[in-house]
A and B are shown apart, each in its own frame.
Chain A
Amino acid sequence: MSHAAPWPTQADLGGRPGFGRVQPEPEGEPFHADGEARVLALTLAMGATGAWNIDMSRAVRETLPDYPRLSYYEIWLAGLQRLMLDRGLVDGEELAGGRPHMPALPLPKRLGADQVATALARGSPTERPATRAARFAAGEAVLTRAGRVPHHTRLPGYAAGRRGVVERVHGMHVYADAHAQGLGEQPQWLYTVVFDGAELWGEGSTPGLRVSIDAWEPYLEAA
């Protein structure tokens, strides 16, 4: 499937004005309502089935039409429902009524209570064996991709078309852009690229500010 329109993400917030002050919060309150804890657990348990990958779930969440007015766990809940509806794992009637009326579809895995600790401790590493040489080395100047793309991507808008310097080389990692589209892992070299504040925000930028992103090789050109 291809479309020319830029990906309609609502999550690319870096540098955008007008959101107001940050409201600090004490430690030790991971959940603020029982529903939040259930949403987290359902999201992790369904993620563990292998019905989709984390990049697909980010792609769905960031394009929810209601994104700007939802709380974060409401975004997760709506994203989880969308992922399941899109795959026919549930239908709207089941979500509304809480009762199944269609047979379950087979899924690759099911996370048992006795497997939780092991599964969390293992996680899902994204580094893969290097199959080619890295194009860039630490210290090299690079220019990030300027154009918008019609799919999920992890190059933030504020760092698009900017000149930075490679600072760290992290090995080859699952490429989020491809993985989110169901095109497989297509591992790419991953770099920490650092920018001077003035390159991102102009001459009025905070003195002494530098900002880095982690960028896969296809985001970068030699500068």
Chain B
Amino acid sequence: MSADHGHDHAHSELGTMELRVRALESVLGAKGYIDPAALDVLIDTYQTRIGPRNGARVVARAWVDPVYRDWLLRDATAAIASLGYSGRQGEHMVAVANSQRQHHMVVCTLCSCYPWPVLGLPPIWYKSAPYRSRAVRDPRGVLDDFGVTLPEGTDIRVWDSTAEVRYLVIPQRPAGTDGWSEAQLAELVTRDSMIGTGLARSPAA
């Protein structure tokens, strides 16, 4: 199985890209347009502080606290901010909950819009042509690529993020997790389950 085209290409052209980036960074720093130290803070932020564990905490809270879940479904921006996650690429949040009858999947067919404060930076596949082209037309085929099969009769709702509203999927809570703590439950919440290309892990897995 061949790797993603864009990924391959990035590697083949890496030398060129690294050089171009370095030249650009030097010029922008020398001209005073940027603070070079700000670049390191930005990178560190998305490597260590803003990622899918934030969203997992939101989902786990919604699983254990029905009042929080209602708030999240009614006003996701405020409910998510109450846990400390807000801002860039998550200014206007909507949360949608999966059920036995309905599965939700999020895409941005036009670029790569993604809820950064809760999920971090998007994976390569989310930004790639295969996902962006197929999610809206053949979501069951996409799920198959992720090894996920939904029961027949499950309706599928795809949310194409074409404006500045960002979507978070609340996956179904796995069976066999009664009495689990929020922290334990958060471990079951995968990034893909919050995009809708996966399900939460089952405790047995």
Q: Which residues of A contact B (CB under 8 A)?
A: 11-17, 19-25, 27-42, 44-46, 49, 58, 61-62, 68-74, 77, 80-81, 89-90, 94-100, 104, 107, 110-113, 115-117, 119-127, 154-156, 158-159, 168, 170, 173-174, 176, 190, 192, 194, 200-201, 205-206, 208-216
Contact A116 B38 (CB under 8 A): yes
A22-B145, A104-B32 as given contacts; A11 in contact with B38, CB under 8 Å: no
Contact A71 B27 (CB under 8 A): no
Q: List 30 A-B contacts (CB under 8 A).
A: A13-B110, A15-B137, A19-B133, A23-B3, A23-B130, A24-B145, A31-B47, A35-B17, A38-B21, A38-B22, A39-B17, A41-B38, A44-B88, A45-B39, A62-B110, A72-B124, A97-B23, A98-B27, A104-B32, A113-B38, A113-B41, A116-B45, A119-B88, A123-B91, A124-B88, A126-B92, A159-B160, A190-B165, A200-B136, A208-B156
Across-interface contacts of B45 in A (CB, < 8 A): 116-117, 120
**Chain A: interface secondary structure?**
mixed
Among the interface residues A39, A121, A194, A216, which one has the most CB atoms of the partner chain B within 10 A?
A121
> B163 at interface (Cβ–Cβ under 8 A)?
yes
Distance A55 CA – B4 CA, assembled complex (angstroms): 27
Across-interface contacts of A116 in B (CB, < 8 A): 38, 41-42, 45
Across-interface contacts of A25 in B (CB, < 8 A): 123-125
Shortest Cβ gap from B196 to chain A (Å): 12
Contact A39 B21 (CB under 8 A): yes
Contact B26 A99 (CB under 8 A): yes
Across-interface contacts of B146 in A (CB, < 8 A): 22, 24
How many residues on chain B are close to A (CB under 8 Å)?
93
